[in-house]
């Protein structure tokens, strides 16, 4: 293998590495798929394990979204440091169950930009600074001793209404697509020159001056890309200083392969919106219905792995189910069709898990894969209602 080919493969490899996205536990990545619309990676909001995902390799199509639910479950009586979806999962950097009630009027503040501190103790870590700021303001309002139970109900209803507002999601995506047109177009042209045109020219004229000209052009286009990305990030996300510095360093130290770093703009676009609502605006209807079924089953059959469930979780889960029910109704989907999935088509099974769908030959009280989820009998199970 020649040195030139090795250098070219190294550049391609570094560029593809820039498109890798780490999916923390509880996050969902939605991205365009070449020629096939959109798809999503990760189990669902609230998944137990983290993993790796990939943005689209072509800069013009790097318009996906990294979605995550709230790290806390909030009810009119109090909150617990568990997410509503899959409430058995620990939030980031937290190890023990913590809960507070509004009757105790807890003090709320932020530490390190994303750590929510309640009564002097770390309560949970949020995914972004914007999410942490919004949660801190909401919790301070709910903990206000001047508010009664009815006012807390209305305050929480307004917060949930904003999280589930489809119009706000559509407006955010439209604004972001317009704001990043130049950057996506410039990075697409740079990728074409670095990965396509210049190698073809070098094959025709394999001289040192050709490589030198390609390097200078890549560095020049990379500098324009880095400055544009920094200025745009400062305008769109003024609170995300650490993320902006990380984005700039990625450009500076990965020339000429950092044209995929612009994907960070879209990954951070929806810190306050409900993941299922954002997915409805991006995914085709069939894929979205599949995701909605996962989320609905997670709320209908939550896990109980270790300690007893906090009494504050069921009211928060019920409120989440109510909002998702309304979201499903707009697409004429009956939630009853998702509560009782069809049992697996296996001969001789006695029961099956309504959450994961695994069938078992012998009767069991709970599913080994889904702790705390009661098994359903396979015989006489009613099929789901038709989805119009």
Which three-class secondary structure string do you get for 228-262?
A: HHHHHHHHHCCCCHHHHHHHHHHHHHCCCCHHHCC
- Could you tell me which residue, 198 or 321, shows the higher pLDDT? 321
Q: Is 127 helix (H, G, I), strand (E, B) or coil?
A: coil
Q: What is the pLDDT of residue 68?
A: 81
Is the pLDDT reported for residue 102 higher than 80? yes
Is the pLDDT reported for residue 115 higher than 80? yes
Place of tokens 């006489």: 380
pTM for this prediction: 0.80
Q: What is the pLDDT of residue 388?
A: 32
Residue 134 is encoded by which pair of tokens?
Answer: 């919004």
Side-chain half-sphere exposure of 330, counting CA atoms within 13 A? 13
Phi and psi torsions of 205, nearest 5°: -130, 85
- Could you tell me which residue, 38 or 11, shows the higher pLDDT? 11
- Could you tell me which residue, 36 or 312, shows the higher pLDDT? 312
Is the pLDDT reported for residue 144 higher than 80? yes
Task: Round the average pLDDT of the chain to a whole number and report it.
Answer: 77
Peptide bond into 256 cis (omega under 30): yes
Q: What is the pLDDT of residue 382?
A: 43
C-alpha to C-alpha distance for 345 and 360, rounded to whole angstroms: 11
Query: Measured between alpha carbons, how far apart are the two ends of the chain, in Å?
Result: 58
Q: What is the pLDDT of residue 372?
A: 78
Is the pLDDT reported for residue 221 higher than 70? yes
Q: What is the pLDDT of residue 12?
A: 77
The helix (H) or strand (E) run that includes residue 42 is none
**Residue range 341-361: average pLDDT?**
72
C-alpha to C-alpha distance for 13 and 15, rounded to whole angstroms: 5
Is the pLDDT reported for residue 285 higher than 70? yes
8 Å CB contact between 281 and 173: yes
Closest by Cα among 282, 287, 42, 284 to 177: 282
Share of the chain above pLDDT 90, in %: 2
Closest by Cα among 273, 335, 275 to 47: 275
Q: Is 139 helix (H, G, I), strand (E, B) or coil?
A: helix
Report the range of poorest mean pLDDT among 83-87, 316-320, 373-377.
83-87
Q: Where are the beta strands (DSSP E) in the chain?
A: 20-23, 27-32, 38-41, 51-54, 65-68, 73-74, 78-80, 99-101, 108-111, 115-118, 121-125, 351-352, 359-360, 376-377
C-alpha to C-alpha distance for 5 and 140, rounded to whole angstroms: 59
Q: What is the dihedral of CA 170, 264, 177, 44, to 10 degrees?
A: -30
Q: What is the pLDDT of residue 381?
A: 46
Q: What is the pLDDT of residue 92?
A: 47
C-alpha to C-alpha distance for 227 and 43, rounded to whole angstroms: 36
Per-residue pLDDT band for 244 (boundaries 50, 70, 90) equals low
What residues contact residue 376 under an 8 Å CB cut-off, 6+ apart? 340, 343, 351, 352, 353, 354
């Amino acid at each position: 293998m020649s040195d030139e080919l090795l250098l070219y493969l190294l550049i391609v490899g570094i560029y593809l590495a820039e498109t890798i996205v780490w999916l923390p536990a509880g996050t969902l990545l939605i991205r365009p798929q070449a020629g096939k619309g959109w798809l999503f990676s990760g189990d669902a909001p609230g998944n137990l394990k983290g993993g790796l995902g990939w943005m689209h390799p072509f800069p013009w199509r790097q318009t996906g979204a990294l979605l995550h639910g709230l790290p806390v479950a909030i009810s009119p009586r109090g909150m617990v440091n568990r997410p509503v979806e899959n409430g058995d999962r620990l939030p980031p950097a937290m190890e023990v169950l913590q809960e507070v009630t509004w009757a105790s009027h807890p003090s709320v503040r932020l530490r390190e930009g994303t750590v929510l501190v309640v009564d002097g103790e770390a309560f949970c870590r949020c995914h972004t600074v914007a999410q942490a700021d919004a949660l801190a303001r909401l919790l301070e309002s709910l903990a206000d001793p001047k508010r009664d139970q009815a006012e807390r109900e209305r305050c929480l209803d307004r917060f949930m209404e904003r999280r589930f507002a489809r119009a706000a999601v559509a407006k955010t995506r439209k604004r972001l697509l317009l704001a990043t047109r130049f950057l996506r177009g410039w990075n697409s042209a740079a990728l074409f020159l670095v990965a396509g045109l210049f190698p073809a020219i070098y094959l025709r004229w394999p001289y040192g001056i050709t490589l030198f000209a390609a390097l200078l052009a890549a560095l020049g286009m990379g500098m324009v890309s880095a400055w544009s990305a920094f200025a745009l990030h400062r305008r769109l996300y003024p609170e995300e200083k650490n993320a902006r510095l990380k984005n700039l360093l990625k450009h500076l130290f990965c020339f000429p392969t950092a044209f995929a770093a612009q994907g960070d703009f879209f990954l951070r676009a929806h810190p306050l919106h409900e993941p299922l609502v954002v997915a409805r605006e991006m995914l085709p209807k069939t894929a979205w219905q599949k995701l909605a079924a996962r989320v609905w089953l997670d709320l209908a059959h939550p896990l109980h792995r270790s300690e007893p469930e906090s009494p504050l979780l069921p009211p928060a889960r019920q409120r989440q189910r109510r909002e998702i029910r309304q979201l499903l109704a707009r697409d004429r989907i009956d939630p009853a069709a998702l509560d009782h999935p069809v049992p697996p088509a296996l001969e001789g099974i006695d029961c099956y898990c309504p959450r994961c769908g695994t069938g078992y030959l012998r009767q069991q009280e709970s599913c080994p894969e889904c702790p705390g989820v009661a098994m359903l009998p396979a015989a006489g199970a009613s099929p789901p209602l038709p989805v119009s």
